[in-house]
Structure 1
Amino acid sequence: MIGKIIKGIGGFYYVKTQISDEVLECKARGVLRHQKIIPTVGDEVMIQSDNPGEWMIESILPRKNIFIRPPVANVDIGLIVFSMKNPKPNLLLLDMLLISSEIQNVEPVICFTKRDLISADEEGTLREIYEKTPYKLFFFSNDDLAAMDEIIREIGGKTAFMAGPSGVGKSTMANYLCADQTMETGALSMKLKRGKHTTRHVELLETKNGGYLLDTPGFSSYKLSEMIKPEELRDYFPDFPRGECRFKSCLHNEEPGCIVKKAVTNGSISSVRYEHYVSLLEEIKKDQFR
């Protein structure tokens, strides 16, 4: 049978099968260990039973992506969660998380929380920056269940992680997204907030409509200079025009005839996003010469 690994503890892997949705405890075949292939939460695997009640992982299907910290594979969506106030959003970090997600072939979805704490003008400023990008964008408060339900539909049938600073409401979101319709959210909250002496393991929690949310505190942005070259950074700003500058090698910084700089001047690209691009470009260049 084919299934998905939703949890792994001490050499045992818990696989949810495609056919019956049953969760089976499995061990990895020795041949995988010999090939130094480590099954990872999120993997789609082929399993087989040699003896009644004993299941083995025979093979791992091709992965869409794989992360090391935390170890998880086949992530589809990154919920990039920032509050609009308390704490004030660090938009440079937000853009770095967007880039990190795209590098790993993960679709970013921007979630701005604590909408009730800011004015319409403050919200408008954030909208003006990110509505010029192709990213899906949500603004909501903790009690805005309609927005939460939209997010649930967005990740339906997919595997998602959360990324963002502490104190922005990720746990509140996770409780709502993952709680079964008949489950008290407090019970799940206790699951998400384990005691500090409890053994940690990576696990996929089911969302209300057949998706999965990674049960970890959240992803961090990777050091971009370790992942991309200076000339590749422009590819991860999808709001920038492509191939229209005078020079094909244009880095959209100091070159003449740059269409991107013109787009910033006329307001079709956010000046904030462009400033972040230039800052990250210089950082990647410096790291390459260290």
Structure 2
Amino acid sequence: MNTKQFERMRKDPGFIAALDQSGGSTPKALKAYGIEETAFHNDEEMFDLIHQMRSRIITSCAFTAQHILGAILFERTMNSKVEGMDTADYLWEKKGIVPFLKVDKGLADEADDVQLMKPMPDLEALLKTANEKHIFGTKMRSVIKEANPIGIKKIVDQQFEIGLQIVKAGLVPILEPEVSINSSTKKAAEALLLKEIQEHLVKLDDDVLLMFKLTIPTETNLYAPIIDDPHVVRVVALSGGYTRKEADDLLMKNQGLIASFSRALLSDLSAQQTQEEFDNALKQAILEIYKASVH
């Protein structure tokens, strides 16, 4: 583990930029950026376009360590280059921003009101590559739709099982058991989620370190016990479909919770903007999210 990166993630003010849209969400991300599906004819062209977008964000004068602690990358982004450097090396060496990697392969079909993660048969090889590419940590997402105790237990069991595998590989996992903001039982689901997480945390060895990415809770400061747990480096929040203003307003009510936004960070960016317009739009979004994260 890189000690400087660890100290930065544990102590410094700021937030994590989520730049990890994968194959399924890439067309939607490109469309939001002003690039229609007619602009590409296959996956290679699509991924080239999304890498151009991500490179534009990462190299922007607005994208700095002053406000951004880390950035979550998609696997292809990790294996690509920015200005001739591996993306993770560019982030850390040029920008002072800690690189993370999305490792899940998407969501399984819904059962027990949740969507577990699909199997990850190549995880060990991916973690080996991540270490070689100087990645600090990982992120993996599953989704809770309703307050079903059976489903929520399965979600947390899976997240911790794979999380401990990642810890053994020398990386810091971000566990992301997202609760849908559209859930009719969101508050109850979050209470069940907290209980399950706490039951797993008390069983961990003292040297195990991990992070969480959670939906901003209905009950303010619900996740304070997780934030204060000695095993937890940081707890970050996903925007989950909220607008940036909605997510920022909710985030500011929760002490110690910082942002890890994707759509809410990138929503004002467009391929058609001049570089000055692009930098200014990104800077404004970053400043707003930073303010909500350091209240």
By percentage of residues, which structure has more strand?
1
By percentage of residues, which structure has more helix?
2
Q: Which structure would you say has the larger RCO, counting Cα contacts within 8 Å and 6 or more residues apart?
A: 2
Q: Do the structures match in fold with TM over 0.5? A: no
Larger Rg: 1
